[in-house]
Amino acid sequence: MNKITIYTDGACVGNPGPGGYGVVLMSGNKTQKLSGGFKHTTNNRMELMACIHALETVREPKTEIDLHTDSTYVREGITDWISGWKSKNWKTSQRKPVKNADLWVKLDALNQKLKVRWHWLKGHAGDPMNELADTLATTAAAGSHLKEDVEIEIDRDAEGSQATLF
């Protein structure tokens, strides 16, 4: 059975602002790096996007995956909070819409399909793979060919201000 170790990170210059995600995938003696950036997004969206893009690369559903994130938002969201959100039709306990629901739905689908063990690690604490994921994310956020984060644009336009961004 294949095993993959993944390190993910998201970054945002301002929050909201230009953002990026970085991913380091390792299996055996192979290492793959992924990154991408968006013109106007949030750090939490980039943390989620890093996990989504990482898991989308896994082709074999029986692969054992250890995914490391420095985001407690992602780790707790996918392991603790998501079942409640789903049972409440993507509403919080305060009956408000779950922020970033579009990305949580994607991440949940991938998590259900794959064998993922979720690990939290302290960011900027010297772990070389976490630092590499951070460098990929911050470099992507500073890039000149950033994409539109369509969902966040819809959220901003629908609410009429950036005050509701997370």
Catalytic (active-site) positions:
9-10, 47, 70, 124, 134
Structure token digits, residue 11: 């970054």
Strand blocks (E) in the chain: 3-12, 17-27, 30-41, 64-69, 115-120
**Separation of CA 108 from chain center:** 11
How would you label 134-159 residue by residue, b for 16+ Cβ within 10 Å and e otherwise? Answer: bbbbbebbeeeebeebeebeebbeee
Distance CA 13, CA 141 (A): 7
Size of the chain in residues: 166
Q: Which residues contact 116 (CB under 8 A, 6 or more apart)?
A: 55, 65, 67, 110
Distance CA 112, CA 46 (A): 21
